[in-house]
């Protein structure tokens, strides 16, 4: 079965022609796909025979929403079933400038960050670019709103799924497709230095975000095991290359965990590492995850941390507005509820849709 959302217009054309139809039918098919329809029956400008062939050979509904939670601030977190039955999460958020979707890139994750719920059962498989898009199509269909910003910050490590991530960036910025601007896509990574350098060569306008979370090498190793493969120095060197090649400001994400990485010494060290670079620091109070023993830093201490970075080290620093914290909107938390402890096996079979909680 073909996932039609996973084909670009050229590939659709080849498919259509190979199945005995005129090439221009691919354009019509693509327009329907981009509209986010899930049934071929809606494609009324295509013949019934062609529609029947399409549904015999492939499918559209590659992210079927099985559970949706709406937070008081309007953030919607959904759990979607992929065509093979795997479950992944996506989040829809509303900002001043429009609507944003937080896209998952893998089923689970193998990076092993100690504070993250996505990594609890390891990684099951990579998502395809079509499945990244499917999350956006499904959320646009659910909300009736057009998404104009995407963050690759759902479960998974986008640079551990490099080719599909690149293909997604190309597909979603296609002007006949979702037509996102490169600048409105943020790719967040735990710091795969080699892939960051490779990405620097792709001539993209996307925003790169680095999940740093600790400026001290041995401490970072204990919360982010990837540090043993790529040291902080290696990540910073890759970021320098990225900035030099793209001219784009890089974001550093820093989740503040009470008593773990929120001291003045951490802020000072972070300031020393990033001082003078074309970067921006985004401070995030850690989301408490039931399976983990972490609590967020108190707000007065967050402000103190911020002022060390911004006043002393002159680094642009923001504090992330927390959206959807009443609905377990942090990475992997919704899905984790449905997994047996420490596995990726889904425990419950019938899921419900909760709207307007
Ligand atoms: N693997 C990528 C993208 C997915 S995680 C990465 O590491 O960047 C997206 C962001 O959410 C990362 O910054 C990650 O560190 C952060 N995150 C994960 N669990 C969190 C939690 N419990 N509280 C706050 N941020 C968390």
| Cα-to-centroid distance, 114 and ligand 1 (Å) | 10
Q: How much is the pLDDT for 292?
A: 74
10 Å Cβ neighbour count for 272? Answer: 11
| Helix-helix angle 193-200:232-246, to 10 degrees | 10
Separation between Cα atoms, residue 58 and residue 42, nearest integer Å: 15
The residue contributing the CA closest to ligand 1 atom 2 is 189
**Termini Cα distance of the chain:** 37
Separation between Cα atoms, residue 31 and residue 10, nearest integer Å: 13
Radius of gyration for the alpha carbons in the chain, expressed in angstroms and rounded: 21
CB distance 160 to ligand 1 below 6 Å: no
Cβ atoms of residues 86 and 105 within 8 Å: no
Q: How much is the pLDDT for 355?
A: 35
CB distance 157 to ligand 1 below 6 Å: yes
Q: Where are the beta strands (DSSP E) in 56-155?
A: 58-59, 64-70, 76-81, 87-95, 98-102, 106-108, 123-126, 149-152
CB distance 287 to ligand 1 below 6 Å: yes
| Cα-to-centroid distance, 97 and ligand 1 (Å) | 23
Q: Which residues are catalytic?
A: 89, 331
CA-closest candidate to residue 201, choices 251, 236, 151, 244:
244
Q: How much is the pLDDT for 334?
A: 63
The residue contributing the CA closest to ligand 1 atom 7 is 190
Structural domains in the chain, sorted by start? 2-59 (1.10.150.530), 63-336 (3.20.20.70)
β-bridge pairing 250-256 and 279-285:
parallel
In a structure prediction context, what are the per-residue pLDDT tens digits for the chain, which is 357 residues long? 999 999 999 999 999 999 999 999 999 999 999 999 999 999 999 999 999 999 999 999 999 999 999 988 889 999 999 999 999 999 999 988 899 999 999 999 999 999 998 988 899 999 999 999 999 999 999 999 999 999 999 999 999 999 999 999 999 999 999 999 999 999 999 999 999 999 999 989 999 999 999 999 999 999 999 999 999 999 999 999 999 999 999 999 999 999 999 999 999 999 999 999 999 999 999 988 776 788 999 999 999 999 999 999 999 999 987 666 666 655 566 666 665 544 444 433 333 333 333
- Scanning the chain, the segments in alpha helix (DSSP H) are 9-18, 24-35, 48-57, 129-143, 162-172, 193-200, 217-223, 232-246, 264-274, 299-307, 333-337
Cβ atoms of residues 67 and 78 within 8 Å: yes
User: What SS3 state is found at 156?
Assistant: coil
Torsion of CA 12, 14, 15, 21, to 10 degrees: 100
Cβ atoms of residues 156 and 110 within 8 Å: no
């Amino acid at each position: 079965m073909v996932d039609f959302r996973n084909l670009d217009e050229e590939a659709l054309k080849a498919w259509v022609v190979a199945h005995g139809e005129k090439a221009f039918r691919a354009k019509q098919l693509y327009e329907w796909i981009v509209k986010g329809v899930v049934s071929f029956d809606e494609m009324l400008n295509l013949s019934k025979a062609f529609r029947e062939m399409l549904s015999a050979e492939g499918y559209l509904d590659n992210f079927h929403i099985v559970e949706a939670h709406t937070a008081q601030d309007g953030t919607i977190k959904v759990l979607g079933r992929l065509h093979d039955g795997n479950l992944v999460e996506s989040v829809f958020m509303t900002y001043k400038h429009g609507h944003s979707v937080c896209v998952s890139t893998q089923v689970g994750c193998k990076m092993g960050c100690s504070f993250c719920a996505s990594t609890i059962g390891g990684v099951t498989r990579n998502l395809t670019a079509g499945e990244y898009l499917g999350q956006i199509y499904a959320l646009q269909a659910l909300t009736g709103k057009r998404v104009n910003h995407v963050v690759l910050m759902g479960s998974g490590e986008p640079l551990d799924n490099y080719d599909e991530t690149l293909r997604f960036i190309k597909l979603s910025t296609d002007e006949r497709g979702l037509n996102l601007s490169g600048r409105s896509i943020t790719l967040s990574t735990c710091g795969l230095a080699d892939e960051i350098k490779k990405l620097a060569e792709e001539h993209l306008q996307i925003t790169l975000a680095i999940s740093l979370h600790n400026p001290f090498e041995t401490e970072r190793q204990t919360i982010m095991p990837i540090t043993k493969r790529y040291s902080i120095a290696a990540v910073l060197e890759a970021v320098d290359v990225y900035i030099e090649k793209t001219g784009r400001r890089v974001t550093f994400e820093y989740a503040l965990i009470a008593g773990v990485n929120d001291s003045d010494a951490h802020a000072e060290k972070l300031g020393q590492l990033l001082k003078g670079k074309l970067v921006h620091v985004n401070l995030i109070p850690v989301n408490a995850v039931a399976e983990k023993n972490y609590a967020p830093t108190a707000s007065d201490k967050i402000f103190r941390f911020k002022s060390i970075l911004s006043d002393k080290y002159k680094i642009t620093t923001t504090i992330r507005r927390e959206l959807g914290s009443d609905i377990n909107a942090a990475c992997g938390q919704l899905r984790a509820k449905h997994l047996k402890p420490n596995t990726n096996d889904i425990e419950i079979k019938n899921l419900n849709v909760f709207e307007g909680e």
